[in-house]
Each structure stands twice: as C-alpha cells, then as structure tokens.
Structure 1
Amino acid sequence: MNRRPALALIALTVPLLMPQAAHAAVAEPCLQHPLPTIAGLQWQHPDAAAPAGRFLVGRGFRAGVGDTLVRWHDGVPAEVGITDPDGLTVDDVSDDGQIVFNRLSPSISFRYRDGSAEQLPVASGWAIAQAGKIDNAHGVIIGRVLDAGQSTQRAVKWTATNQVQLLAAPAGFTESIASDIADDGTIVGSVINPAANPEDPSDIRAAYWRPDGTVVVLPKASTATSTNATSISNGVIYGLQDSQPVSWPLGSTEPPAPTPAPPIDTNANGTALYPDRVVQPAKGERLLETKDDTMPGSNHALGLTTDDQVLGWIDDANLTPTRWDCS
C-alpha cells in the first residue's frame, strides 16, 4: 500500500509562528529546484537536515519492502540499507552523518553511524524507548522512555557510547519530556506532575538540564498556567507560556518575555531561515518560491547550507525533496 509518512513520535505540538515585524519590500524569491531522487520508490520524504546542510535524511517507500531510510549527501540520495515494513521515523542527523531513527512496531530506537544501526537501550525499569534529537558536537542523543502501558514517561539521554541515563526530576514532578539539546550538552524540555487533574495544565513547566545533569524549572508569569521549552539556540531557550511564544535567557530567574518564534536554522553568513522565507544581511527577506501547481503552505524547509541553499520538501503528490537557491 502506498501510504503517507508517519508523524514523528516525540515532537511537541507548537504553532507555526513567524516573526511579527512588518514585512517591507521583499527581494526576489529563492528559486525552487527538485533534489535528485531514487528510482523505484513510490515516495521519498526528507525529515531532518544536519546543521551545516551537507546531510539531509528521511524515508522512502518501496512496494513489497516498506519504509526505507534515505540520506542525501551533498545532494546525492542513497538508501542506507535500513528498511521496515511496519514503518520508520527519522528524527535527526548530525554533521558527521549520524542518524537518529525509530522503528514503529515494536517501538525501538537506533543510532546509525559508520554504516550500521546501533540499538539504543531502554533504561532499567522501563519498557519502551523513543529517540529524538542529537547533539551535533558530541553525539549525545535525547529522547524518552515509557512504561509498558505508555501512561508514564521520563526524559533520557544516550551518551556517544549509547549508555542511557534518566534525566533528573525536580521535586514535585514525576514525568518529563526532552525537546532539544545544545552543543554544550544543555537539554531543554518540560517537567510534568500528572497527579493534577489531567485537564488542568498547571503542572506542566518548562525546564532545562545543565550539562552536569542538574535540572532547573524555569519561572513563569503569576497569571500563566503552563509553560514548556521547545528549543535552545545561542544561549536562549524558546517555548510557550500558555499559547504565547516566549523565551528565557539561559540561567534567567525572571518570567519569560514574549518573543517571535526563532528561525529554523542560521548559518555563518548571518542568514536566518523561517518556514516560508530567509532573511539575509545583504538582501533582506526573500520568500521561498512556490510553484503554481502547489498550495500556499506546501513548502517545508528543514535546513540551511553554508552557501545559502535551503533544503526541504514540498507537500505535493510526490512529496518532492527540494532545494531553494538563496545564494
């Protein structure tokens, strides 16, 4: 059966928000070009881009085989030999080509590196592991473990040698989710106290774990009910306070400030990538070209190369892997 890609397992739901600054005249758009694809796949769909943009990873579907892991290296696609008839999720990739992926049934987490898949262990006393992001500098992977009934969860990390460690839970909280990791090892996410009414989010709080493993619950406004942290970039933690996008400087003891959503990616040129555009120091804002036969919002940018090429895909009939030239 020719099926659409499965959604990522551990992603938090975050509104697709853009900076609120008024847009003046927009320069000529970044032109859209399809990336090379692999013959014989019914679809092939990128899921993640490495920070420097040399690696793009995702899945394809081959009749009679099922999902297959695909990696574009400098724009050239190849299957890496990982397949599963019951489905895969591909969650992240580092600049040295390490890929974080999960099998769906049964749920098993892996690190792919040096041509082979390494299964990530489940923490003692837990039944299921699901991996997420990888630290680009050291190869540390974050994710979560769940009990057999999938009713309780804890944030974990796997070291570069695949040793699993539960992240500390602060007093008053028994569950947690890890959402992002910085290259220095700082992890951001949320801590949860499920003893409260499950329809009351007041016991969901943004938190971060220092590289030494200690956990800090981030402050919230006195009028707010819940917070969560979704990403970290250049010493700033981004997330939500109730439904409002906010940020905390790392180490802050003050409630968060309203903040536009951060860019998807940046590079050494000073270019910033947002869902539908780039902002370049010399050229200003430039939209990602949308072809006449695709719907608005069908562009899905994933990453930015060092020479201002945007990598992603288009939500069309073929789920087309795409490059936008913003050079």
Structure 2
Amino acid sequence: MTGRAAAYGEPCVREQLAVPAGTHRAGVYDSDPTGRFQVGYTMDQDFAYHLIRWADGVPEDLGTARTGATGINAHGDIVGSEFDPETYRSAGWLYRNGEFTELPSIEPGFDSRPTAVSEDGTVSGASGAPGQRPVPVVWTPAGDARPLDLPPGDSGGRGTDIDDNGTVVGWTSAGPDTSTHAARWSPDGTVERLPEHRPGPETGSTAEAVRGGTVLGYEVYATGSTPILRWRDGAAGPDVLGEGTPQAVNGHGSVVVRTTPDTKLWLIQNGVTRSLPTDSTPYPTGEVVALTDGDIAYGRWNSTPVRWDCRLP
C-alpha cells in the first residue's frame, strides 16, 4: 500500500458494544472525539429502527421518530436528517438536552442535510432544492443556517465534517455534470480548494473528515482508481495512503483506511500500521465511522456495533 509505514504493530482488539434487549441488528453512526458518546441505531424484533445514544458504554433508546443520525459531539448533541417521501425533502434536526429541534433550510421547501456537529454546537452540512446540487452550509449554535462561500466558478458543494475550531471540509463543484473537488473552509469562512495528488480534467476529489487540522479524503480518476489522501498542515500536497476508502482521523493525525481489493481496515498511528480485525472475505464486513483522540475506533462488524481498542501500551 503506497504511503503505508514500513513498521507493523499488533492488531487492535475488537470489542462488541452493549445493545438493548431484543435487538435484531445494530450499528454505529459516529463517536465524539473523547469517546464518551456514540450514536447509532438498533432494529428490534418487529424490524423497527431505534435511535441509540451510548454514554460511557451504556445504550439509551431515543425512540423511533428520528433515526437518520450523522454526527455527535462531546456534549452528546446529535444531528441528522429524515427523508419525507411525500415532499421528497430531507429535513435536518438537532437533538440537545432531551429535545429534537428542526435545522432550517436556506430557503423554504429546500433540503437540509447536516453531517457533523462541533463541540460548541456548530453544524456542517448542505441545503438546496430537492433533486438539485446543494450548497455547503453551517448552522450556528443558535440554529441559524448560513451558506458558505464557494470558489470562483463553482455553484454547489457540501460540508462533510467540522473540526472543533470551526474548520469545515467537504467538496465543491461547478455543476452537476462536473467533478467535485476537495475544499476547506477556515473558521472565518474563507474557502480554499485542497491540492490534488494528480490534478487534471478527469480528476475529482472530496474531503471526508477533519480533526486537529488533519484532513482525510480521496481522489477519483476516470480509470476508477481511488487513492486515499491525507492533507496535513504545512505540507505542500497530500500524502497518498493507498487505494480504497478513507474511514476516520483523530486529533493526533492517526487515520483509519479501508484498502482495496483486500477490503481490510488499517490504522496508521505514529509511524506504525496496525490492522483492525474483520472477517476474511472478498466483501467489506467492517466499517469505521470514528476514531477517538484516545485511539479507539468505532464502527460495525457485519451487523454488530463494535469498537477496536488501538491504544498503545
């Protein structure tokens, strides 16, 4: 794997998360950087989905009305969205202090799709007319929607993640028939396209996650190749971490990736590469959705919510 450290360490230890009695299947959507809170779902014996929040490993059932969570912060605040098949609209929401509130769209009748929430309650995401390319948006801690600026010539985009200092990452594009390009918005709203490894007219890219200034994403070529990229502060360009799918990054710059074609999960940590055990099959049986600053990864193994303990001795 290009860019993988030469040294290999011991595999991380996989552990199952507790789930409520009667759970048929379950999964994790996100963890906060401290590892205290996780958000996910369970399916009961009647095949109804429930929103679940774990606090210090203990699951709490938050009901069946809102289950499309996408992010959680260190206070246990949750964001997500639900699709309305009658209006064909995605409606964003925030769960805080035991209550669900709406995250408004930038115009009446538009979608609102939050993706992540920072420690102070600022939310990243996108909003736009149903069926059309959205624009990147942040919601203030008070719940007000504010469109983010776009690079010259671009007309849409999405904020995919937000750092606790207010930095947003995601992608922008000139239109629905053009490639996306990884972008970063500083806390003051200034936008920049992130440098691509192999820029060109048939190259697209997106930034998927940010933590502590380290950005994780990927590039796409017309050949179908998808190198995983890591942008670090002060570097002239991105590191290439092999082919596959970016998974998560933490505040120390450790990253989790899923490589292809072997569909294996790897942690790159302090110059050492470690595996996150899953099944040995040609198909992905594991997924990581978050990596805490304490080097514990959260995700799923088959239909089971798990964590991989990757802490160093």
Q: Give the alignment's Cα RMSD to 1 decimal.
A: 3.3
TM-score, normalization by structure 1 = 0.75
1:139 corresponding residue in structure 2 = 121
1:152 corresponding residue in structure 2 = 133
- After superposition, the Cα gap between the structure-2 partners of 1:299 and 1:241, relative to the gap in structure 1 and judged at 3 Å, is closer
1:14 corresponding residue in structure 2 = none
Indicate yes or no: 2:70 matched with 1:91: yes
From 23, 33, 38, the equivalent of 1:51 is 33
1:1-12 to 2 correspondences below 5 Å: none
**1:290 and 1:296 in contact (8 A); partners too:** no
Q: How many residues align?
A: 291
1:37-116 to 2 correspondences below 5 Å: 37-62=19-44, 66-81=48-63, 83-84=64-65, 88-105=67-84, 107-116=90-99
**1:88 and 1:104 in contact (8 A); partners too:** no
Structure 1, residues 55-89: CA drift from partner, whole Å, max 9, x if none?
111112235583210011111111023x13xx732
Cα deviation, residue 228, structure 1: 3.0
2:212 partner letter: N
**Larger Cα Rg: Structure 1 or Structure 2?**
1
1:288 corresponding residue in structure 2 = 276
What secondary structure does 1:300 align onto? Answer: strand
2:210 partner letter: I
**2:134 and 2:158 in contact (8 A); partners too:** yes
**1:186 and 1:210 in contact (8 A); partners too:** yes
- Alpha-carbon distance in 1 for matches of 2:283, 2:203: 32
Structure 1, residues 262-315: CA drift from partner, whole Å, max 9, x if none?
7723366x8655552445659x544334468x8774232333456554432211
Structure 1, residues 32-56: CA drift from partner, whole Å, max 9, x if none?
3322111123222111111111111
From 179, 183, 192, the equivalent of 1:207 is 183
Cα deviation, residue 114, structure 1: 0.7
2:122 partner letter: V
2:106 partner letter: A
- After superposition, the Cα gap between the structure-2 partners of 1:297 and 1:111, relative to the gap in structure 1 and judged at 3 Å, is same
TM-score, normalization by structure 2 = 0.78
Indicate yes or no: 2:139 matched with 1:162: no
- Alpha-carbon distance in 2 for matches of 1:144, 1:34: 33
1:274-285 to 2 correspondences below 5 Å: 274-275=257-258, 276-278=265-267, 284-285=272-273
Cα deviation, residue 160, structure 1: 0.6
1:53 partner letter: G
**Range 121-130 or range 219-228, more displaced:** 219-228
- Alpha-carbon distance in 1 for matches of 2:275, 2:67: 32
Identity %: 27
Indicate yes or no: 2:300 matched with 1:313: yes
Higher relative strand content: 2
What secondary structure does 2:127 align onto? Answer: strand
Unaligned runs of 5+ in 1: 1-17
4+ residue runs over 6 A deviation: none
1:252-263 to 2 correspondences below 5 Å: 256-260=237-241
Indicate yes or no: 2:300 matched with 1:322: no
Indicate yes or no: 2:228 matched with 1:228: no
- After superposition, the Cα gap between the structure-2 partners of 1:176 and 1:23, relative to the gap in structure 1 and judged at 3 Å, is same
Unaligned runs of 5+ in 2: 222-226, 259-264
What secondary structure does 1:260 align onto? Answer: strand
**2:125 and 2:137 in contact (8 A); partners too:** yes
